Amino acid sequence: MSNTPKLELREVSKSFPRASGAPLTVLDRIALSVPDQEFLVILGPSGCGKSTLLKIIDGTEPCTTGTVLLDGADVTGRPGTGRAMVFQGADLLPWQTALGNVMFGLILRGVPKAEARERAMRYLEMVGLTAFADSYPHQLSGGMQQRVGIARALAVEPELLLMDEPFGALDVQTRDLLQEELLRIWERDRKTVVFITHSIEEAIYLGDRIVVMGARPGRIETVLQVPFPRPRRESIRDEPEFRALRRQIWDQLKVGAQAAPDLAGAPA
Amino acid sequence: MRRDMLPWNLLGIVVALGAWEIGGRMLGDGLLAPPSSVLAAFPALLRDGMAEALGTAMLQMLVGYACALLVGIPLGVLMGRSRMADRLLHPWLSMLLVTSTAALVPLFILIFGTGMAFCGALVFMASAFYIMLTAYQGARGIDRRLMAVARSFGATRMQAFRMVLLPGLFPYLVTGARVGLVHAIRAMVMAQMFVMVGFGGLIAQSGFDASTAGLLALLVTIMLVSLALNRALDATGHRLAPWYRASKAGH
Amino acid sequence: MRLRGASAGIWPALSILAGLLLWQLVSLGFSDFILPPPTAVLQRLGDPAYLAELGAALAASLGTMLAGFAIAFAVAVPLGTVMGRSPRLAAAVEPVLTAFYAIPPVALVPFVVIWFGLFVEGRIALIVLMSLPDILVVTLAGARDIPPRLIAVGRSFGASPAQMLRRVLLPASLPFLFAAMRVGLARAITGMITAELFLAAAALGGMMKTSAEAFDNAGVFVIVVLVCLLGLAVQSGVRRLERRMLHWHMEENR
């Protein structure tokens, strides 16, 4: 591991001007450093700006102040290089097959078609969907769609994988399966991951470190180290240590929620 | 239309009117009379009985339009709620929807003559099937889940009709009435232009004038009438059922 | 307008057949002069000379219709797309469009005569004027409805503006381009027959007028039915093309 962190956020803030009075601060001076190959989970209630933060890291959303550094280079507001996003609802292009969707990012980066095809097939295989390469998104289940979404992001071989509540819309069984599968893929080919969720269990099961965010304005409440060794198996969910950590984070979140009583009205 | 876009709405109108005025002055009244000339043409038109002609025309139109509503709505709802009615009526609806009103003009003259029956029949044919189509879509699209909720709460058939079907249908009926009205006015003008009587006759005749000011004044008049009636229907729909504009059919 | 084909067995065909039978029965009570029976209309089509004339008129009508439609489509689609992606431009154009839409198209005829004359240029102009607003409205609504999520995916993967257009915006627009084509063609056919009747009589409209002046109602009926069938054929043709090219969309909205 080198000394420069893979990803560094320096004092990233985001605010919107309001017609009346002071601007609305969505993110307040977020500072964060993610070492190479770390699986970082950002956990927070809806409305804490965690999705906005991820978009800022991705470069598709401008921030008001602050800088985003990838391998020490300033990538603030510049999407496309070194990062790839897995979207909440998979958001596949409906007119492309599973294969075509995985090829999407490669084609955009100018990879020749034959090579893009081959590489895409490799990643489809990784998520276990070789047989569905020619299926259209509407023919795939929600879980399969999200696997394609993951393959699409992995195919561009990003330095940093961004995941925006990727399993949030799935049913519990599919969700558990995909979590396990994600770990399997990640443990084999370690990448730096920033993963967003509002599920405490998901955060503990997947993450090396958990950043707990509070709302109004969005800010980092605390950062926790997850003590479980890798490779992790499903069974750790039943361990007392797991449950204790869950309890601890839950209390932390409650404190944050009490500090922001109008949380219910917050935009997602 | 969003309120914060109001300046842009106004800008569009001002630019269009400005372009018309400048273009009109450059081209001359013979090709395109500018708004100022058009405005000046109104007194002469009113002297020539434009208002009376318009009133009579609207009355004739309303007869055909009312018939279209009376026939189109029940048939459309029936089609939407009964599979058999759908099967039997659908081919006719598809066919009559694509039938151009203009193509019916010579036929209807032979059948109905050139009087009020002709105009009314043409208006009916032009609007009834759009009204029917919208009613059909509304009746078909009634949320199954809402009907299930009603049944689960033990609603009788009549109660379900009154409390779920009708309110859900209403926005579509208003939309159908608005779409139908546009077609009804078009058909009315078409009928009258073809036989050169009434308001449509005035339009046809003004084509022979040396200036287009009179023609454009007539076009602006029918446009304003159409917009006003449409707006009135929209407002009525909104007043009777405040959920109308929020619904899918309200656009 | 999206019609579900009520393709439920033989009932639709039975219904049409019953309608024709009813027409035949009712027409027995009238002279052929007022309401000719369907058989009289069919009889017409047995005459080869008449058929040849009809074919030539149909070809002429179709040519003008397609020319007008092509012009309207070529103008309205780019304009509608730009308007759909720019709320301010849309807000500026919409009131003008609404106002224009409120004018009965046939009332534009005297104007078309002044500008383009009574013949083929005039006919094409009227077809353009009648189909353009409808194509514009459909395109505008469609361009407005392109899912922002897909645009976000393109941006995240670093698509350049050209790539965004080609790989995201264009494919996402295809469904409403087809819808615009269907609506536009239906309007163009109406425009075609309107122009042929209200400008100098020509092609199908001309044949109709000639028949009407000779009080030959069966001849008028033939054209009415033909124009109606033409409309249906064009609609189902476009729909078939759509199904072939956009299977992902048709299935998605099942």
**Tens digits of residue pLDDT in B185-235:** 999 999 999 999 999 999 999 988 888 999 999 999 999 999 999 999 999
Q: Please report whether residue B2 resides in a domain.
A: no
Residue A259, pLDDT score = 56
pLDDT of C34 strictly over 80: no
Closest CA to A201 of A168, A232, A242, A164: A242
Please name the residues between 80 and 119 in chain C that touch chain B, using a CB distance below 8 Å.
87-89, 91-96, 98-111, 113-115
> pLDDT tens across B112-152, in order?
999 899 999 999 999 999 999 999 998 887 777 777 777 77
Tell me phi and psi for residue B242, to 5 degrees: -60, -15
DSSP assignments along B107-161, one per residue:
HHHHHHTTSHHHHHHHHHHHHHHHHHHHHHHHHHHS-HHHHHHHHHTT--HHHHI
Domain architecture of chain A: domains with CATH: 28-82+168-259 (3.40.50.300), 94-157 (no CATH)
Residue C128 or residue B167, greater confidence = C128
> pLDDT tens across A24-68, in order?
888 999 999 999 999 999 998 888 889 999 999 999 999 999 999
Interface probe with C: pick from A93, A103, A111, A134, most Cβ of C within 10 Å: A93
Q: Please report whether residue B90 resides in a domain.
A: yes
pLDDT of B26 strictly over 60: yes
Q: Which residues of A touch C249 (CB under 8 A)?
A: 94-95
Mean pLDDT (whole number) for A67-88: 90
Q: Please report whether residue B115 resides in a domain.
A: yes
Cα distance from B240 to chain C (closest Cα, Å)?
A: 24
Beta-carbon-side half-sphere exposure of residue B24 (alpha carbons within 13 Å): 19
Write the CB contacts of B136 (distance below 8 Å, at least 6 apart in sequence).
Answer: B76, B77, B79, B80, B86, B93
Q: How confident is the model at residue A2 (pLDDT cuts 50, 70, 90)?
A: low
Give the closest of C158, C246, C251 to A80, CB-based: C158
ipTM: 0.90
- Any idea what DSSP says for residue A109? T
Q: At which residue do the structure tokens 């264009």 appear? A: C170
Q: Please report whether residue B191 resides in a domain.
A: yes
Closest CA to B123 of B187, B193, B192: B187
Closest CA to A56 of A48, A47, A65: A65
Please name the residues between 190 and 249 in chain C that touch chain B, using a CB distance below 8 Å.
190, 193-194, 197-198, 205, 208-209, 211-212, 215, 217, 220-221, 223-224, 227-228, 231-232, 235
CB-based contact B84 C113, cutoff 8 Å: no
Interface probe with C: pick from B10, B65, B107, most Cβ of C within 10 Å: B107
Q: How confident is the model at residue C11 (pLDDT cuts 50, 70, 90)?
A: confident
Domain C38-252: homologous superfamily in CATH: MetI-like (1.10.3720.10)
Cα distance from C72 to chain A (closest Cα, Å)?
A: 27
Residue B248, pLDDT score = 58
Q: Which residues of C touch B104 (CB under 8 A)?
A: 224
Residue A263, pLDDT score = 41
Nearest chain C Cα to B213, which residue?
C111
Residue A210, pLDDT score = 95
pLDDT of C41 strictly over 70: yes
- Any idea what DSSP says for residue A218? B
Q: Which residues of C touch A91 (CB under 8 A)?
A: 149-150, 152-153
Q: Please report whether residue B101 resides in a domain.
A: yes
Please name the residues between 150 and 179 in chain A that touch chain C, using a CB distance below 8 Å.
156
Q: How confident is the model at residue B25 (pLDDT cuts 50, 70, 90)?
A: very high
> pLDDT tens across B42-85, in order?
999 999 889 999 999 999 999 999 999 999 999 999 999 888 99
Q: Which residues of B touch C106 (CB under 8 A)?
A: 102, 186, 189-190, 193
Closest CA to A220 of A1, A5, A12, A3: A12
Residue C252, pLDDT score = 58
Q: At which residue do the structure tokens 């489509």 appear? A: C73
Interface probe with C: pick from B94, B172, B205, most Cβ of C within 10 Å: B94
**Type of residue found at A27:** L
pLDDT of A180 strictly over 70: yes
Q: How confident is the model at residue A1 (pLDDT cuts 50, 70, 90)?
A: very low
Give the closest of C34, C89, C101 to B111, CB-based: C34
Q: Please report whether residue B77 resides in a domain.
A: yes
Please name the residues between 25 and 54 in chain C that touch chain B, using a CB distance below 8 Å.
34-35
Residue C165, pLDDT score = 86
Q: Please report whether residue B27 resides in a domain.
A: no
Nearest chain A Cα to C170, which residue?
A95
Which chains reach chain B with 3 or more Cβ–Cβ distances below 8 angstroms? Answer: C
Q: CA C80 → CA A254, B14, B15, C97, C99, distances in Å?
A: 50, 20, 18, 11, 17
Cα distance from C83 to chain B (closest Cα, Å)?
A: 13
Q: Beta strand A209-214 with A7-16: parallel, antiparallel or unpaired?
A: unpaired
Closest CA to A7 of A207, A161, A225: A161
Q: Which residues of A touch C171 (CB under 8 A)?
A: 93, 95-96
Give the closest of B84, B190, B215 to C104, CB-based: B190
Q: CA A223 → CA B92, B191, B241, distances in Å?
A: 69, 78, 53
pLDDT of C137 strictly over 60: yes
Nearest chain C Cα to A85, which residue?
C156
Residue A261, pLDDT score = 46
> B187: domain CATH number?
1.10.3720.10
Mean pLDDT computed over every residue of chain A: 88
Domain range list for chain C: 38-252
**A with B: touching (≥3 Cβ pairs within 8 Å):** no
CB-based contact C150 A138, cutoff 8 Å: no
Interface probe with C: pick from A87, A103, A108, most Cβ of C within 10 Å: A108
Mean pLDDT (whole number) for C208-230: 91
**C with B: touching (≥3 Cβ pairs within 8 Å):** yes
CB-based contact C247 A136, cutoff 8 Å: yes
Specify the number of domains making up chain B.
1
Residue C29 or residue C191, greater confidence = C191
> pLDDT tens across C166-209, in order?
899 888 988 899 999 999 999 999 999 999 999 999 999 999 99
Q: Which residues of C touch B194 (CB under 8 A)?
A: 197-198
Cα distance from B152 to chain C (closest Cα, Å)?
A: 27
Q: Please report whether residue B4 resides in a domain.
A: no
Residue C42, pLDDT score = 86
Nearest chain C Cα to A78, which residue?
C158
CB-based contact C157 A95, cutoff 8 Å: no
Where in the sequence is the domain holding B193, given as residue range(s)?
36-250
Residue C251, pLDDT score = 59
Order of all β-strands in the sheet with A73-74: A24-34, A7-16, A65-70, A73-74
CB-based contact C96 B86, cutoff 8 Å: no
pLDDT of C7 strictly over 80: no
> pLDDT tens across A224-261, in order?
999 888 888 888 888 899 999 999 999 888 776 665 54
Q: Which residues of B touch C108 (CB under 8 A)?
A: 219
Percentage of chain B beyond pLDDT 70 is 96
Dihedral (Cα; A268, B2, B8, B11), 10-degree rounding? 180
Q: Beta strand A7-16 with A24-34: parallel, antiparallel or unpaired?
A: antiparallel
Closest CA to C195 of C78, C91, C61, C97: C61
Percentage of chain C beyond pLDDT 70 is 94
Nearest chain A Cα to C161, which residue?
A108
Separation CA A236–CA A183 (nearest Å): 13
Say if C162 is an interface residue toward chain B (CB within 8 Å).
Answer: no
Q: Which residues of B touch C98 (CB under 8 A)?
A: 227
Separation CA C157–CA A103 (nearest Å): 11
